[in-house]
Structure 1
Amino acid sequence: MMRGASADAYAAAAAVLPGTGDLGRVGQDLFGTADLLRAEPGLRRVATDVSIPAEAKAELLRGVLAGKVAPESLDVVTAAVSQRWTAGRDLGDALEQLGVVATVRSTGSEATRLEDEVFAVGRLVQENPALRDALSDPARSRGDKADLVKGLLGDKVLPATVALVQQALSGSHRTVAVALAAFQKVAAEVRGEGVATVRVARPLSGADRDRLAGALARSYGREVHLNVIVDPDVIGGIRVEIGDDVVDGTVSSRLDDAGRRLAG
């Protein structure tokens, strides 16, 4: 989360981010620029140096990116480098996050599907050790890993989902799964939603999902996107995690509590 001057700088750059047009291209441009700044420490230092006039930094980035990114993307980048950042790495992180926002917006009415797909891919990575190792293997190039993702997901998911999963390979987060969780949170925020992780022993019916989502929306004052995990270990009942709040009404939890009371 951006703090201090970086939070203000992010807001200023976000205000320039377009709401229409080829937002998928804008997202890719911002991802690429974030990657460039992370790979080139010298460029990053100049772009975030408070002693250099804002227009000079903007002109430098125009020269580096002209003809390589869309004009709308360049506007966002130059707005970003014209700001004051608390830490140098915050600039790349902000551009990546704005790239996620643009990518989410590019899906229009399918944004909910995007959230579900990103969550599902995150779970797939967590639960498949071979895939997790392949995506974290330092001996494999990022391009090779991106090809693996594209081959795995293909046309089964939205192009925006593939774009986000490939960006999760950038190394900006501790693991690919952590990156995807962060990207899904950004996607929910774009739509004004919260995100709840729900663990149940059996899949929820459509009616049960709607009732739970409605109850959480009333409690938290905004719509809540449900990430449902079917986990036989809960035996029965339901466990809901939203932010720092946890409501555990599972049978396994009650059995554990009973066991502790008996042991005590």
Structure 2
Amino acid sequence: MNGASRDALHAARERLDTLTASRTVDVTRLADQLAALTALLDREGTLRRALTDPAQDGEAKAELARRLLSGQINADTLDLFSGMVRARWSQSRDLTDAVEELADSADLIAAERDGSLDDVEDELFRFGRIVGSSAELRTALGSRAATGQAKADLVRSLLGGRAAPVTQRLVSRLVTAPRGRSLDGGIESLSKLAAARRGRMVAEVVSAVPLSDRQKERLGDALARIYGRRVHLNLDVDPEVLGGVRVKIGDEVINGSIADRLDEAARRMAG
């Protein structure tokens, strides 16, 4: 998002944090209602454009939202959404994207409350690796021919009883309503959102053998010094790395493996 939309999303995130700071707020219900609003905005282009029309007064747009949605969602969700439509959005789709992010964030706040957020981060990463290695599974979960219920049932068979409830909810929502996202890209976005809830960056770490607790601690400390913030390590093992580690944070790759050093030496000799 750019410009006005970025500012509006930032304000919406702050309002969500303020709202959910109260333990009396049912964050799972909030997530469900925000997800329903996402589907409504995605489906009803005329409504979406009306609620983001820059020529209309913000309070008039909020009143439209209240008139249409009062009684269908609870007061907390309606107040949060009304605040969002008062804001200015660069593109109408940005409002839909923002509501969807808040739905996912509300579920992650539920995980934060019950102490499962770390598990959710790790489970999203592991599920992403499983999907990435199975063309058959990607096809099944991404098929346009399959119904949303069929996809949700498949996610339930894969994750039910093996992952935190929040992980299953997030993945089910992604596969049943991808909104143009690839499965890989959607899982990555959810992982980053989960990490952001903890104020951390996510590093994908590939090593030839599993790292010891001491090695993980040292690597985490080193990355924290480099980036100035805590870094969550998503760990994977690849024997072809041969030694050392390969770390990817966002678009940046830190190569520290023996294989990489051998490749570099070979390139120098060839030159």
For the pair 1:155 / 2:161, whether they are aligned, the reply is yes
Give me the whole-angstrom Cα distance separating, in 1, the residues matched to 2:214 and 2:69: 50
For the pair 1:44 / 2:15, whether they are aligned, the reply is no
Of 36-45 and 53-62, the range deviating more from structure 2 = 53-62
Letter in 1 for 2:40: L
Q: Residue 155 of structure 2: SS of its match in structure 1?
A: helix
Structure 1 equivalent of residue 9 of structure 2? 10
CA contact (8 A) 1:25 1:70 kept: no
Letter in 2 for 1:151: S
Q: Residue 15 of structure 1: SS of its match in structure 2?
A: helix
CA RMSD for the aligned pairs? 1.6
Residue number among 213, 217, 221 corresponding to 2:220 in the alignment: 213
C-alpha displacement of 1:113: 1.1
Give me the whole-angstrom Cα distance separating, in 2, the residues matched to 1:67 and 1:82: 20
Give me the whole-angstrom Cα distance separating, in 2, the residues matched to 1:71 and 1:127: 44
Q: How does 1:216-255 map to 2 (within 5 A)?
A: 216-255=223-262
CA contact (8 A) 1:14 1:76 kept: no
Of 61-70 and 217-226, the range deviating more from structure 2 = 61-70
Deviation per CA, 1:148-193, whole angstroms, max 9, x where unpaired? 1122211211111111112222223531111111111111112111
User: What TM-score, normalized to structure 2?
Assistant: 0.91
Give me the whole-angstrom Cα distance separating, in 1, the residues matched to 2:215 and 2:73: 45
Letter in 2 for 1:83: A
Which blocks of at least 5 consecutive residues in structure 1 are unaligned? Answer: none
Give me the whole-angstrom Cα distance separating, in 1, the residues matched to 2:68 and 2:158: 34
C-alpha displacement of 1:85: 0.3
For the pair 1:72 / 2:79, whether they are aligned, the reply is no
Letter in 1 for 2:146: R
C-alpha displacement of 1:103: 1.3
Give me the whole-angstrom Cα distance separating, in 1, the residues matched to 2:239 and 2:77: 46
User: What TM-score, normalized to structure 1?
Assistant: 0.93
Which blocks of at least 5 consecutive residues in structure 2 are unaligned? Answer: none
Of 181-190 and 17-26, the range deviating more from structure 2 = 17-26
Give me the whole-angstrom Cα distance separating, in 2, the residues matched to 1:7 and 1:59: 23
CA contact (8 A) 1:46 1:57 kept: yes
Q: Residue 107 of structure 1: SS of its match in structure 2?
A: helix
For the pair 1:194 / 2:216, whether they are aligned, the reply is no
Letter in 2 for 1:101: S
Letter in 2 for 1:32: A
Question: CA 1:149/1:64 → structure 2, altered by over 3 Å: closer, same or farther?
Answer: farther
Number of residue pairs matched by the alignment: 263
Deviation per CA, 1:85-128, whole angstroms, max 9, x where unpaired? 00110001001111122111111222111111111111111111
Of 39-48 and 236-245, the range deviating more from structure 2 = 236-245
Structure 1 equivalent of residue 170 of structure 2? 164
Residue number among 83, 98, 114 corresponding to 1:94 in the alignment: 98
Question: CA 1:257/1:26 → structure 2, altered by over 3 Å: closer, same or farther?
Answer: same
Residue number among 166, 174, 182 corresponding to 2:189 in the alignment: 182
Structure 2 equivalent of residue 261 of structure 1? 268
Give me the whole-angstrom Cα distance separating, in 1, the residues matched to 2:29 and 2:216: 34
